[in-house]
Amino acid sequence: MQQKKLYRSTKDRQIMGVCGGIAEYFGVDSTVIRVGAIVLMLAAGSGLLAYILCALIMPEDPNKYIEI
Per-residue pLDDT of the chain (68 residues; tens, 9 = 90+): 678 888 888 888 888 889 989 998 899 999 999 998 888 888 877 778 888 898 999 888 877 665 55
Those residues with Cβ within 8 angstroms of residue 41's Cβ, 6 or more apart along the chain or in another chain = 47, 48, 51
| DSSP sequence for 1-62 | -PPP---B-SSS-SSSSHHHHHHHHHTS-HHHHHHHHHHHHHHTSHHHHHHHHHHHHSPBPT
Bridge partners for 48 per DSSP: none
The pTM of this model reads: 0.80
What pLDDT sits at residue 10?
82
d(CA 63, CA 31): 22
